[in-house]
């Protein structure tokens, strides 16, 4: 293994918290929203991948379509590597998507198209917090709004409306 590939492998393990670098290599065949995609591997297995550690606005929420378009521009129809971080309650693969050595999950946060995902108030990937802060300070993307509503708050508001 070349030195640069060894470093990338080590970085992936450290950055994503993955102990075994289980991964999928395939083509992004569909972008469903700002944090969920379909990936087709060479064996024609189709995976629904939820970008691990981030939470993009919902499709019907302010900035939702912008987030989807940003992710589409970045990775639609491209070959990616997905480092698997687990499976969520909806049976989607939780993964960190890499395109040409770039962490696309972190990129969505740093460009202001997603928040760092928080579970019970704690960030799932604390390493993304500086990206969120930088996007907020630069008023990038959804941070150009004075008080953007996080998707977890928006989802709860929508649920309350239906009750």
How far is CA 48 from each of CA 2, 28, 61, rounded to the nearest angstrom? Answer: 31, 10, 21
> What tokens does 82 get?
């997905």
Q: Which residues are catalytic?
A: 50, 58, 92
> What tokens does 60 get?
């019907």
- Three-state SS sequence of the chain: CCHHHHHHHHHHHHHHCCCCCCEEEEEEEEEEECCEEEEEECCCCEEEEEECCEECCCCCCCCHHHHHHHHHHHHCCCEEEEEEEEECCCCCEEEEEEECCEEHHHHHHHCCCCEECEECCEECCHHHHHHHHHHHHCCCHHHHCCCCCCHHHHHHHHHHHHC
């Amino acid at each position: 293994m070349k030195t640069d590939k060894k470093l990338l492998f080590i970085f992936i393990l450290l950055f994503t918290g993955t102990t075994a670098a289980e991964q999928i290599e395939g083509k992004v065949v569909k972008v469903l929203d700002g944090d969920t995609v379909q990936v087709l591997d060479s064996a024609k297995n189709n995976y629904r991948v939820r970008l691990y550690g981030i939470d993009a606005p919902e499709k019907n929420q302010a900035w939702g379509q912008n987030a989807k378009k940003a992710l589409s521009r970045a990775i639609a129809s491209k070959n990616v590597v997905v480092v698997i971080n687990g499976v969520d309650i909806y049976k989607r693969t939780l993964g960190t998507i890499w395109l040409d050595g770039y962490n696309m999950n972190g990129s969505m946060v740093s460009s202001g198209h997603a928040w760092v995902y928080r579970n019970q108030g704690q960030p799932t990937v604390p390493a993304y917090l500086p990206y969120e802060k930088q996007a907020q300070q630069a008023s990038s993307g959804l941070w150009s709004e004075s008080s953007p509503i996080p998707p977890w708050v928006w989802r709860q508001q929508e649920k309350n409306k239906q009750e």
